[in-house]
Amino acid sequence: MDVGGDSDKEFVGYRGKALAFLAKSKASVGDILEAKTEWGTVIGTLVPRYEHADDRHVVLKLKSGYNVGIAVSKLRSATVKKSGERPAFSSSTPPSSSGKLPRVLVIGTGGTIASRVDYRTGAVRPAITAGELHSLIPELSEIADIEPEILLNIFSENIDPVHWSKLAARIGKAVEEGYQGVVITHGTDTLGYTSAALSFALQGVPIPVVLVGAQRSSDRPSSDGTQNLIGGVSVAALAPFSGVYVAMHLGEGDNEGVAVHRGARVRKNHTSRRDAFVSVGVPLAAVWRPTGLEDIASDLPGRGGVEPSGGAQGGRRGGHSRFRPFPRFDNRVALVKFYPSMPATLIASLSKMGMRGLIFEGTGLGHVGSKDLNAVKAFVKGGGLACMTSQCINGRVNLNVYDTGRDLATAGVIPLEDMLAETACVKAMWALGNSDTVEAAKEKMLENLAGETTPRRFPG
């Protein structure tokens, strides 16, 4: 780490070039600075940066509340106009619980909630008490009785089936404890995998479980963290439906909306945009706006009259006492994306590595090269679970149209309809983890358990 945390509070999060510039200018976090740049003068409060931010920008909060990042290379000078106090997370007292607001458990997985809902994690100062959360996002206290809890503290790309189990078990307990909803703050890298995992592990959960992330950290202009958290807490507290969902920024053209995606049909489709998350092949479950939670209807593109809470993807709230999670996962599953010249030996190698399941991301309707066929056959004959999805992302696999597909089906490869490859990988881990035999796992793969597939429009 380039900068100390508490040991060097005046430049929280700054390092390298940016740190050198600020030190030279005798500016501290919290000071109001007049910064002269190549393109004009900016007056604003120097705000802290997050741990993993680059070292080439200084961030000022304008009077309007908008944060501006200024490249050090464009900065000519910075003058302290007014010494400020270091902005700290004050721990103001939230309004005492009237007992009338829904109780919502907010689970942190990256050591960070609220102001520090970060792209993956890396908060210098996580806000972890109800008081801190209230101080940062007073709106939350009007929506729900928030109870924050840090369950994990790891980078999103390191979250794996062990952590999914831990989350599922904790949420199972939260249902027993009478929470009306659960929010999980999670790095966006693998947020879709975790939401799929919880969709299977928490089938029939009687409350809304909402995963929330942020594509832009709170020290950057137009961060989406706060808004997504408010949206997520609103869904957890107020939604009439239960099930697992992802709440993320709706769209670049709509700065107010938070999209509520079904947990098993959501994909991160952009590396950096705030509206990176999309529902694939299904309408959104709902949209949150500052005016409230909208049970969206046919006026939204693709909505098409599907009930947000219908079918396997969730139900109405209720039935607390009967719910039990299925938190086991078997991580001996590999996601295999086919590409031209992929060697058949790869399949044999994965088998030797102890894989019990292979999820193929085939081409088109679900194909791999003919020369891979024997290896696939051998894997299935040896008791492996082999399934087919498509790298096209959109649309449905079909192993009945062409010879290669029919050969794969004959070899025992299970076509997974329009299931996302990532969801299929997670589902196979769950199915193997919760079945006594591979046959039983196969049956689970074919059943639509958590809205992971959609019905064929034209059966055949």
Site for a second copy in 171-210 (CB under 8 A): 187-190, 193-194
Active site residue 112: yes
Sheet strand arrangement including 357-362: 333-337, 357-362, 385-390, 414-415
Identify which of residues 227 and 390 has a Cβ nearer to a second copy in the complex: 390
**Going by C-beta distance under 8 Å and a sequence separation of 6 or more, which residues neighbour residue 346?**
336
**Least distance to a second copy from the beta carbon of 457, Å?**
11
Show the tokens assigned to 285: 């479950």
**Least distance to a second copy from the beta carbon of 442, Å?**
20
Q: Decide if residue 259 touches a second copy (CB under 8 A).
A: no
Q: Decide if residue 26 touches a second copy (CB under 8 A).
A: no
Q: Decide if residue 453 touches a second copy (CB under 8 A).
A: no
Q: Decide if residue 104 touches a second copy (CB under 8 A).
A: no
How far from 444 is each of 188, 245, 330, 429, CA to CA, in Å?
Answer: 28, 21, 14, 11
Burial class (CB in 10 A: 0-12, 13-18, 19+), 287: buried
Identify which of residues 321 and 394 has a Cβ nearer to a second copy in the complex: 394
**b/e burial code for range 23-50 (CB count within 10 A of at least 16 → b):** eebebbbbbbbebebeeeebebbbbbbb
Shortest CA distance to 108 belongs to which of 124, 120, 91?
120
Q: Spot the catalytic one: 189, 219, 372, 418.
A: 189
Q: Decide if residue 253 touches a second copy (CB under 8 A).
A: no
Q: Decide if residue 446 touches a second copy (CB under 8 A).
A: no
Shortest CA distance to 141 belongs to which of 216, 214, 229, 246?
229
Contacts (CB under 8 A) with a second copy, residues 117-156: 119-120, 122, 155-156
Contacts (CB under 8 A) with a second copy, residues 400-419: 400-404
d(CA 270, CA 215): 10
Active site residue 145: no
How far from 51 is each of 4, 338, 421, CA to CA, in Å?
Answer: 10, 37, 33
* Contact pick of 7, 65, 341, 457 for a second copy (by CB under 8 A): 341
Phi first, then psi: what are they for 39, rounded to 5°? -110, 5
Contacts (CB under 8 A) with a second copy, residues 363-392: 363-371, 390-392
Q: Decide if residue 46 touches a second copy (CB under 8 A).
A: no
Q: Interacting stretch for a second copy, rule CB under 8 A, among 144-152, 338-346, 378-386, 446-454?
A: 338-346
Identify which of residues 35 and 388 has a Cβ nearer to a second copy in the complex: 388
**Least distance to a second copy from the beta carbon of 27, Å?**
22
Identify which of residues 202 and 428 has a Cβ nearer to a second copy in the complex: 428
Encoded one letter per residue, x for contact with a second copy by CB under 8 A and - for no contact, window 264-303 reads ----xxxxxx--x---------------------------
* Contact pick of 158, 226, 279, 434 for a second copy (by CB under 8 A): 158
Find out whether 208 and 102 touch, Cβ atoms under 8 Å. Answer: no
d(CA 175, CA 324): 9
**Least distance to a second copy from the beta carbon of 241, Å?**
27
Q: Decide if residue 71 touches a second copy (CB under 8 A).
A: yes
Q: Decide if residue 96 touches a second copy (CB under 8 A).
A: no
Sheet strand arrangement including 243-251: 145-150, 103-108, 181-185, 208-212, 243-251, 254-262, 286-289, 292-294
**Least distance to a second copy from the beta carbon of 333, Å?**
8
**Least distance to a second copy from the beta carbon of 440, Å?**
22
Q: Decide if residue 219 touches a second copy (CB under 8 A).
A: no
* Contact pick of 8, 34, 139, 160 for a second copy (by CB under 8 A): 160
Q: Decide if residue 394 touches a second copy (CB under 8 A).
A: yes
Identify which of residues 147 and 361 has a Cβ nearer to a second copy in the complex: 361
Rg for the chain, CA atoms, rounded: 24
Shortest CA distance to 14 belongs to which of 45, 68, 56?
56
Show the tokens assigned to 191: 């947020």
Identify which of residues 133 and 424 has a Cβ nearer to a second copy in the complex: 424
DSSP string computed for 121-159: ---SS---SHHHHHHH-HHHHHH-EEEEEE--BS-GGG-
- Catalytic residue list: 112, 188-189, 268
